[in-house]
Amino acid sequence: MKYIKNLTAIVLFTLLTGAIQAQKLTLDNAVQLATANSKQLKFSAAKVDAADAKKDQSVNSFIPQVTLNSTYSRLSDNIEPFTISIPGFGSQVLNPQILNQYTNRVSIQSTLFGGLRNQNNLKTTQYLETAAKLDAEKDATDVRFNAISAVLNLYKGQQTLKLVDENLKLSDTRITDVTNMYNAGTMLQNDVLRTGLNKSNLEISRMDVESGISTANYNLNILLGQGETIVNEFDENSLFPVAEQKPANAWVADALANRSDKKAADTRSLVSQVGVNNAKVGYMPTLTAGFNYYYNNPNQRVFPQQDAFKGTWDLGATLSWNLTSLYATGANVREAKQNVLQSNLTSSIIEDGIKMEVNANYNAYTVAKAKIDLAQKALDQAIENQRVVKNRVDNGVNLQTDLLDADAFVFQGQINLLNAKIDAQLAYFKLLKSVGK
């Protein structure tokens, strides 16, 4: 009891000094905060951006390559020019010494046909970008469920604490009653001790529950990306939305249509199919074209050379065909086809896993709902038993220990009903997660 008073004093002091802030959240608020502050989703977004950059790189492969080269050279002046005499024209220098050499070239090169390699690479990067986005959607689904699970776990602890406090009040009443009866000589001292022991056990349970609440609240704050000292409370109506009711096969159909991991696997199967086409590129020739423009001083195409800038150009096409690859490519194509088979099998395995997961979660949700009715029935029976035993104790028919047992049955029934309701809700959200919602 002294521990509880000290703990309460510390909490009140901290609240008054402003170190702890209380906030009330709806389930949607918590999910939004978790999604906005999730490091996992930021990491997923970075992967999507990287995939988008890869796609842009593939688009750039269609752009002709334009290069500019410019050089300057200074020649030594120890070469004697070669001079000939031509009758009627005098002396002519065939190799004038132009000591400052300037070379400028602009080149444009483009692949006219490369076996559709660039087109296949672009398709591959587009599919991989789509797969990265689908992976990010799956991560977002996981983050949402983790936030919901954390909220319900904390809410369960908070509600359990309320039940413990209610039973502590009841225990105080029982202690008062048994003490009065003991003073009147109608109750044994052992009954007084047993009643006090019951309260002590509840106080121990309360400390355990408070510790669990503190841990759950701290973990939720980390998950939501907010201050660690914030105390979270919840709008109960938002925690229990109306559940969608439909048969198991309808849930399975929704999962196969909505699950991002299934879509991502199907998209990666398309990547492997493009890989077959890319492997077949080895069977095909490559045709490239190029254009060069020169602006040199001296220009080597001008004879005799002149100390002046002259512009010239050339244009050409090149056809190349690696005949050895006609044989070697066959192995690459076989490997690519096996990759397609593996990708299709992976997608099929994921589909089977989804079916089993949804079916298991549907059955778990169905059982969890049924447990609510059973827990409610058991609690009603415990309350009625408590009423009957209380009357019999008051009339001296039953012992005080019988009433303590009846109180314990009621308390356990309350805990069971609380757990059943929250477990059923968590099972429903888990079912939603398994269908990609």
pLDDT in the model for residue 178: 87
277 SS3 class: helix
In a domain? residue 106: no
In 3D space, the residue among 256, 279, 266 whose CA is nearest the CA of residue 127 turns out to be 266
Give domain status of residue 124, yes or no: yes
- In this structure, is residue 279 part of a structural domain? yes
Whether 253 contacts 289, CB under 8 Å: no
Cα–Cα distance, 94 to 96 (Å, whole number): 6
Q: Which domain holds residue 148?
A: 2-37+114-285+324-434
Residue 173 lies in a domain: yes
Q: What is the pTM of this model?
A: 0.82
6 pLDDT above the threshold of 60: no
> Which string of DSSP letters, residue by residue, matches 35-90?
HHH-HHHHHHHHHHHHHHHHHHHHHHTTSPEEEEEEEEEE--S--PPPEEEETTTE
- pLDDT higher at 398 or 391: 391
Stretch (H or E) spanning 384:
helix 325-394
Q: 229's torsion region: left (phi>0), alpha (psi -120 to 50) or beta?
A: alpha
* Residue 163 placed within a domain: yes
Q: Which residues, at least 6 apart from 288, have a Cβ–Cβ distance to it below 8 Å? A: 109, 110, 111, 112, 317, 318, 320
179, 192 Cβ separation under 8 angstroms: yes
The mean pLDDT value for 375-383 works out to: 96
Please enumerate in sequence order all residues whose Cβ is within 8 A of that of 437, keeping only pairs 6 or more positions apart, or say none: 141, 254, 258
User: Quick check: is 272 in a domain?
Assistant: yes
- Distance between terminal CA atoms of the chain? 46
Collect all residues with Cβ–Cβ distance below 8 Å to 61 and sequence separation of at least 6.
118, 121, 122
Domain assignment present for residue 44? The answer is no
Query: What pLDDT, on the 0 to 100 scale, is given for residue 145?
Result: 96
Predicted local confidence at residue 5, as pLDDT: 47
Tell me the mean pLDDT in the region 264-276. 94
C-alpha dist (Å) from residue 333 to 62, 153, 254, 322, 345:
24, 53, 36, 16, 19
Model pLDDT, residue 3: 43
Query: What is 298-320 written as a DSSP string?
Result: S-TTSSS--SS-EEEEEEEEEEE
> And the tokens for 419?
């757990």
Q: pLDDT grade, residue 19 (50/70/90)?
A: low
Please report the pLDDT score of residue 401 as a whole number. Answer: 85
- The 10s digit of each residue's pLDDT in 105-145 is 999 999 888 888 889 999 999 999 999 999 999 999 999 99
Kindly tell me the sign of the dihedral angle through the C-alpha atoms of 46, 51, 55, 61.
Answer: positive
What local confidence, expressed as pLDDT, does residue 336 receive?
92
Residue 1 has pLDDT above 90, yes or no: no
- In terms of Cα–Cα distance, which of 135, 137, 358, 365 is closest to 253? 358
Q: What percent of the chain has pLDDT over 90?
A: 67
Position 4 scores a pLDDT of 45
The number of folded domains in the chain is 1
- On whether residue 361 sits in a domain, the answer given is yes
* Mean confidence (pLDDT) of the chain: 89
pLDDT of 16 above 50: no
pLDDT tens, 146-195? 999 999 999 999 999 999 999 999 999 988 988 888 888 877 888 889 88
pLDDT at 13 over 60: no
Instruction: Report the 10 Å Cβ neighbour count for 178.
Output: 24
Give every CB contact of residue 382 below 8 A, 6+ residues apart in sequence: 406, 409, 410, 412, 413
Q: How far apart are CA 75 and CA 341, in angstroms?
A: 64
**Band of residue 20 on the pLDDT scale cut at 50, 70, 90:** low
Give the mean model confidence (pLDDT) for residues 264-273.
Answer: 94
What is the CB-side half-sphere exposure of residue 160 using CA atoms within 13 A? Answer: 24
Position 315 confidence tier, pLDDT thresholds 50, 70, 90: very high
The CATH number of residue 200's host domain is 1.20.1600.10
